[in-house]
Amino acid sequence: MAYLTFSNLNSRTFSKATSLNESISSRTYLEKKVFLSYRRMDRDYIDGVVRFLKRMGVSVYIDYLDETLEEKTNDAVAQQLRDRIKECSKFITLATPNSTGSKWMPWELGLGDRIINYANVAILPLTNDPNIWADQEYGKIYGRIESLYSFSVADSNDWYIIYPNGTRIKFKDWLSK
């Protein structure tokens, strides 16, 4: 089994003007929308992660590209994030070595679990070594996205959700449910 690595991704930071976020109305009927939770200090990796997810046939919501979202943390921002999560059918937490220090990510993960449902929540580990992930506590609760046979991010059929009980489902199949 292999995890997605930093070296798999081409680093590029997006500005607010970049149209990475797709509106709900512009999606096709069959296309699923994923809420991506991440630590702000990992922004440089978001472009590569989004490209990885788009290869799987989904659109992705990234909060820092949302023009309607205020920069300051307040009740209105929290409500907007709840609303954005409700608009998505899947929730993915990007787990990096930086994630453990985030105050928002566990909150968003709990919302995703409650709003979208446990079965629609997954952890995407992003590591330095494809064979090692120093998982956070929540990594033992939710399914995690892993490659079974290769280290290629291009082979969408090689990625699975592996659950704590050992069961697995193809990542593409999980996204399409």
Domain boundaries defined on the chain: 4-10+31-176
On whether the CB atoms of residues 145 and 160 are closer than 8 A, the answer is yes
pLDDT of res. 37:
94
On whether the CB atoms of residues 124 and 99 are closer than 8 A, the answer is no
- The pTM assigned to this predicted structure is 0.86
Q: What is the pLDDT along the chain (177 residues), one digit of tens a residue?
A: 788 888 877 544 434 434 455 544 444 555 789 999 999 899 888 988 998 898 888 999 988 777 677 777 778 888 999 999 999 999 999 999 999 888 889 999 999 999 999 999 999 999 988 888 887 777 789 999 999 876 566 667 889 999 999 999 999 999 998
Q: Whole-angstrom Cα distance, residue 47 to residue 100?
A: 21
Class of domain 4-10+31-176: alpha beta
pLDDT of res. 93:
96
pLDDT of res. 14:
38
Could you tell me if residue 120 is left (phi over 0), alpha (psi between -120 and 50 degrees) or otherwise beta? Answer: alpha
